[in-house]
Chain A
Protein backbone atom coordinates (compact mmCIF):
# COMPACT_ATOMS: atom_id res chain seq x y z
CA UNK A 1 0.00 0.00 0.00
CA UNK A 2 1.33 3.42 -0.94
CA UNK A 3 2.48 5.56 1.90
CA UNK A 4 3.36 9.12 2.78
CA UNK A 5 4.81 9.38 6.26
CA UNK A 6 5.12 12.56 8.26
CA UNK A 7 7.61 12.41 11.09
CA UNK A 8 5.40 13.82 13.84
CA UNK A 9 1.66 13.85 14.49
CA UNK A 10 1.84 16.58 17.11
CA UNK A 11 4.52 19.20 17.69
CA UNK A 12 4.77 22.12 20.10
CA UNK A 13 7.43 24.75 19.45
CA UNK A 14 8.30 28.15 20.85
CA UNK A 15 8.12 31.41 18.95
CA UNK A 16 11.38 32.07 17.13
CA UNK A 17 12.46 28.43 16.96
CA UNK A 18 13.56 26.85 13.70
CA UNK A 19 11.19 24.00 12.93
CA UNK A 20 11.67 21.08 10.55
CA UNK A 21 8.74 19.02 9.30
CA UNK A 22 9.78 15.87 7.50
CA UNK A 23 7.88 13.91 4.90
CA UNK A 24 8.89 10.62 3.29
CA UNK A 25 7.12 8.70 0.53
CA UNK A 26 7.84 5.14 -0.51
CA UNK A 27 6.20 5.22 -3.94
CA UNK A 28 9.04 6.70 -6.02
CA UNK A 29 6.80 9.70 -6.80
CA UNK A 30 8.29 12.61 -8.68
CA UNK A 31 6.08 15.32 -7.17
CA UNK A 32 5.74 16.30 -3.53
CA UNK A 33 3.68 19.03 -1.87
CA UNK A 34 3.26 20.82 1.44
CA UNK A 35 -0.15 22.19 2.43
CA UNK A 36 -1.46 23.78 5.57
CA UNK A 37 -5.06 23.39 6.67
CA UNK A 38 -6.89 25.87 8.85
CA UNK A 39 -10.56 25.99 9.87
CA UNK A 40 -12.56 28.08 7.42
CA UNK A 41 -9.62 28.43 5.02
CA UNK A 42 -9.35 24.90 3.71
CA UNK A 43 -6.08 23.51 2.39
CA UNK A 44 -3.57 26.01 1.06
CA UNK A 45 -0.45 25.10 -0.87
CA UNK A 46 2.84 26.30 0.62
CA UNK A 47 5.47 24.77 -1.70
CA UNK A 48 5.81 21.88 -4.09
CA UNK A 49 8.66 20.05 -5.79
CA UNK A 50 8.65 18.15 -9.07
CA UNK A 51 12.19 16.79 -8.85
CA UNK A 52 15.16 16.51 -6.54
CA UNK A 53 16.54 19.95 -5.64
CA UNK A 54 13.64 21.63 -7.50
CA UNK A 55 10.98 23.67 -5.73
CA UNK A 56 8.13 25.97 -6.64
CA UNK A 57 6.24 28.44 -4.46
CA UNK A 58 2.59 27.78 -3.80
CA UNK A 59 -0.02 30.25 -2.59
CA UNK A 60 1.46 31.04 0.83
CA UNK A 61 5.25 30.53 0.86
CA UNK A 62 6.09 33.44 3.16
CA UNK A 63 7.82 32.33 6.35
CA UNK A 64 8.58 28.87 4.95
CA UNK A 65 11.30 27.17 2.97
CA UNK A 66 11.68 23.62 1.68
CA UNK A 67 14.39 21.13 0.90
CA UNK A 68 14.38 18.12 -1.41
CA UNK A 69 17.80 16.49 -1.40
CA UNK A 70 16.46 12.99 -2.11
CA UNK A 71 13.51 11.92 -4.22
CA UNK A 72 11.66 10.31 -1.34
CA UNK A 73 12.04 13.12 1.19
CA UNK A 74 10.57 16.62 1.24
CA UNK A 75 11.19 18.86 4.23
CA UNK A 76 9.31 21.97 5.26
CA UNK A 77 11.28 24.50 7.29
CA UNK A 78 9.91 27.29 9.42
CA UNK A 79 12.93 29.56 9.77
CA UNK A 80 11.56 31.41 12.81
CA UNK A 81 8.27 30.00 14.01
CA UNK A 82 5.46 32.41 14.80
CA UNK A 83 2.08 31.87 16.44
CA UNK A 84 0.25 32.42 13.14
CA UNK A 85 1.97 29.31 11.82
CA UNK A 86 0.02 27.17 14.27
CA UNK A 87 -1.81 24.82 11.92
CA UNK A 88 -2.24 21.32 10.54
CA UNK A 89 0.48 20.63 7.96
CA UNK A 90 -0.13 18.03 5.27
CA UNK A 91 2.39 16.50 2.91
CA UNK A 92 1.30 14.90 -0.36
CA UNK A 93 2.88 13.23 -3.35
CA UNK A 94 1.94 12.02 -6.81
CA UNK A 95 3.60 10.74 -9.93
CA UNK A 96 3.24 10.88 -13.68
CA UNK A 97 1.87 7.35 -13.53
CA UNK A 98 -1.24 7.89 -11.43
CA UNK A 99 -4.16 10.25 -11.12
CA UNK A 100 -4.52 10.87 -7.43
CA UNK A 101 -2.53 12.60 -4.77
CA UNK A 102 -1.54 10.59 -1.68
CA UNK A 103 -1.55 12.54 1.55
CA UNK A 104 0.19 11.90 4.84
CA UNK A 105 -1.71 11.89 8.13
CA UNK A 106 -0.64 15.42 8.95
CA UNK A 107 1.38 17.20 11.63
CA UNK A 108 -0.50 19.41 14.03
CA UNK A 109 1.95 22.17 14.93
CA UNK A 110 1.35 24.53 17.82
CA UNK A 111 3.63 27.54 18.22
CA UNK A 112 3.51 29.10 21.68
Chain B
Protein backbone atom coordinates (compact mmCIF):
# COMPACT_ATOMS: atom_id res chain seq x y z
CA UNK B 1 0.00 0.00 0.00
CA UNK B 2 1.26 3.43 -0.92
CA UNK B 3 2.59 5.50 1.97
CA UNK B 4 1.18 8.97 2.41
CA UNK B 5 2.64 12.10 3.96
CA UNK B 6 0.51 14.96 5.25
CA UNK B 7 1.17 17.96 7.47
CA UNK B 8 0.56 17.13 11.11
CA UNK B 9 -1.52 20.24 11.76
CA UNK B 10 -2.96 23.36 10.13
CA UNK B 11 -4.76 26.41 11.45
CA UNK B 12 -7.25 28.52 9.54
CA UNK B 13 -9.89 31.16 10.17
CA UNK B 14 -13.60 30.93 9.58
CA UNK B 15 -14.63 31.73 6.02
CA UNK B 16 -11.24 30.93 4.49
CA UNK B 17 -10.51 28.25 1.93
CA UNK B 18 -8.29 25.49 3.29
CA UNK B 19 -6.04 23.30 1.16
CA UNK B 20 -4.47 20.18 2.64
CA UNK B 21 -1.86 18.48 0.50
CA UNK B 22 -0.93 14.82 0.67
CA UNK B 23 2.15 13.25 -0.91
CA UNK B 24 2.03 9.70 -2.24
CA UNK B 25 5.10 9.20 -4.40
CA UNK B 26 4.72 5.45 -4.89
CA UNK B 27 1.06 5.40 -5.83
CA UNK B 28 0.17 2.42 -8.01
CA UNK B 29 -1.74 2.48 -11.27
CA UNK B 30 -4.87 0.98 -9.72
CA UNK B 31 -4.83 3.13 -6.59
CA UNK B 32 -7.52 5.66 -5.78
CA UNK B 33 -7.09 8.61 -3.41
CA UNK B 34 -9.64 8.94 -0.63
CA UNK B 35 -10.06 11.52 2.11
CA UNK B 36 -11.79 11.02 5.44
CA UNK B 37 -12.73 13.41 8.24
CA UNK B 38 -12.76 12.40 11.90
CA UNK B 39 -14.15 14.27 14.89
CA UNK B 40 -13.12 13.34 18.44
CA UNK B 41 -14.77 10.16 19.73
CA UNK B 42 -16.32 9.40 16.35
CA UNK B 43 -15.44 7.15 13.45
CA UNK B 44 -13.91 8.60 10.27
CA UNK B 45 -16.38 9.90 7.70
CA UNK B 46 -15.85 9.58 3.94
CA UNK B 47 -15.42 12.98 2.27
CA UNK B 48 -14.28 12.45 -1.30
CA UNK B 49 -12.47 10.05 -3.61
CA UNK B 50 -10.73 10.51 -6.92
CA UNK B 51 -8.39 8.92 -9.42
CA UNK B 52 -7.11 11.83 -11.51
CA UNK B 53 -7.73 15.53 -12.36
CA UNK B 54 -10.43 17.15 -10.25
CA UNK B 55 -13.40 15.83 -8.32
CA UNK B 56 -15.97 18.02 -6.60
CA UNK B 57 -18.90 17.23 -4.36
CA UNK B 58 -21.08 19.26 -2.01
CA UNK B 59 -18.46 19.20 0.73
CA UNK B 60 -15.03 19.49 -0.90
CA UNK B 61 -12.89 19.39 -4.01
CA UNK B 62 -9.99 17.07 -4.71
CA UNK B 63 -7.21 18.11 -7.07
CA UNK B 64 -4.90 15.46 -8.48
CA UNK B 65 -2.05 16.42 -10.83
CA UNK B 66 -1.20 14.37 -13.88
CA UNK B 67 1.62 12.42 -12.18
CA UNK B 68 -0.72 11.55 -9.26
CA UNK B 69 2.16 11.74 -6.78
CA UNK B 70 0.24 14.19 -4.64
CA UNK B 71 -3.29 15.39 -4.09
CA UNK B 72 -4.92 18.41 -2.48
CA UNK B 73 -8.14 18.45 -0.51
CA UNK B 74 -9.82 21.84 -0.75
CA UNK B 75 -12.46 22.91 1.78
CA UNK B 76 -14.25 26.11 0.76
CA UNK B 77 -15.16 28.69 3.40
CA UNK B 78 -14.47 26.60 6.50
CA UNK B 79 -16.42 27.01 9.70
CA UNK B 80 -15.63 26.11 13.31
CA UNK B 81 -17.39 22.78 12.79
CA UNK B 82 -14.77 21.76 10.23
CA UNK B 83 -12.21 21.42 13.01
CA UNK B 84 -11.24 17.75 12.76
CA UNK B 85 -8.52 15.35 11.68
CA UNK B 86 -8.34 14.76 7.94
CA UNK B 87 -6.86 11.55 6.57
CA UNK B 88 -5.53 10.95 3.08
CA UNK B 89 -5.56 7.31 2.00
CA UNK B 90 -4.25 5.69 -1.13
CA UNK B 91 -5.19 2.20 -2.19
CA UNK B 92 -7.34 0.07 -4.41
CA UNK B 93 -10.50 1.01 -2.59
CA UNK B 94 -12.60 1.66 -5.62
CA UNK B 95 -16.09 0.22 -5.82
CA UNK B 96 -16.01 -1.28 -2.35
CA UNK B 97 -12.94 -3.45 -2.55
CA UNK B 98 -12.44 -5.59 0.52
CA UNK B 99 -8.78 -4.71 0.58
CA UNK B 100 -7.78 -2.86 3.66
CA UNK B 101 -7.08 0.84 3.84
CA UNK B 102 -4.04 2.08 5.70
CA UNK B 103 -4.61 5.25 7.66
CA UNK B 104 -1.69 7.60 8.23
CA UNK B 105 -1.40 10.08 11.07
CA UNK B 106 -3.74 12.59 9.46
CA UNK B 107 -3.82 16.40 9.57
CA UNK B 108 -5.38 18.15 12.54
CA UNK B 109 -7.23 21.16 11.12
CA UNK B 110 -8.16 23.81 13.64
CA UNK B 111 -10.54 26.55 12.50
CA UNK B 112 -10.31 29.70 14.56
CA UNK B 113 -13.03 32.36 14.94
- Check B95 against A101 for contact (C-beta < 8 Å): no
> Using Cβ atoms and an 8 Å threshold, which residues of chain A touch B97?
31, 94
Q: Is A84 an interface residue (CB 8 A)?
A: no
Segment from B12-20, B22-30, B44-52 that makes contact with A: B44-52
Number of A-B pairs whose CB atoms are under 8 Å? Answer: 70
Which residues of the other chain, B, contact A108 by a CB distance below 8 angstroms?
Answer: 41
Contact A103–B45 (Cβ < 8 Å): yes
Contacting pair A100 B104 (CB below 8 A): no
B-contact bits for A48-74, CB 8 A (1 contact / 0 none): 101000001011000000000000000
Q: How many residues of B contact A (CB 8 A)?
A: 23
Chain A contacts of B104 at CB under 8 A?
Answer: 42
A81 to chain B, nearest CB (A): 21
- Shortest CB-to-CB span from B88 to chain A, Å, is 12
B80 at the interface (CB under 8 A from A): no
CB contact between B43 and one of A44, A94, A105 (< 8 Å): that residue: A105
CA distance A21 to B51 in the complex (A): 35
* Pairwise interchain contact A101-B103, C-beta atoms closer than 8 A: no
CB <8 Å contact, A43 and B103:
yes
Point out the residue from B32, B44, B95 that lies within 8 Å of A103, measured CB to CB: B44
Contacts of B46 in A (CB 8 A): 99-102
Enumerate chain B residues within 8 angstroms of A91, measured Cβ to Cβ: 43
Contacting A104 at CB < 8 Å: which of B32, B43, B101?
B43
Residues in B with CB closer than 8 Å to A58 are: 100
Report the nearest B residue to A44, measured CB to CB. Answer: B103
Of all chain A residues, the one with the shortest Cβ separation from B85 is A42
Set of chain B residues within 8 Å of A96, measured between Cβ atoms: 95-96
Nearest-neighbour CB distance to chain B for A69, whole angstroms, equals 18
Asked if B94 lies at the interface with its beta carbon under 8 angstroms from chain A, I say yes
Q: Closest B-chain residue to A100, C-beta based? A: B46
| B107 at interface, CB cutoff 8 A | no
When the two chains form their complex, are residues B96 and A97 in contact, meaning their CB atoms are under 8 A apart?
yes
Taking Cβ atoms with an 8 Å cutoff, the residues of B that contact A are 32, 34, 36, 41-46, 49, 93-98, 100-106
Give me 22 A-to-B residue pairs in the complex whose CB atoms sit less than 8 angstroms apart, sorted by A's number.
A30-B98, A35-B103, A42-B103, A42-B105, A43-B44, A58-B100, A90-B43, A90-B44, A91-B43, A94-B96, A94-B97, A97-B95, A98-B96, A99-B32, A99-B93, A99-B94, A101-B44, A101-B101, A103-B42, A103-B43, A105-B42, A106-B43
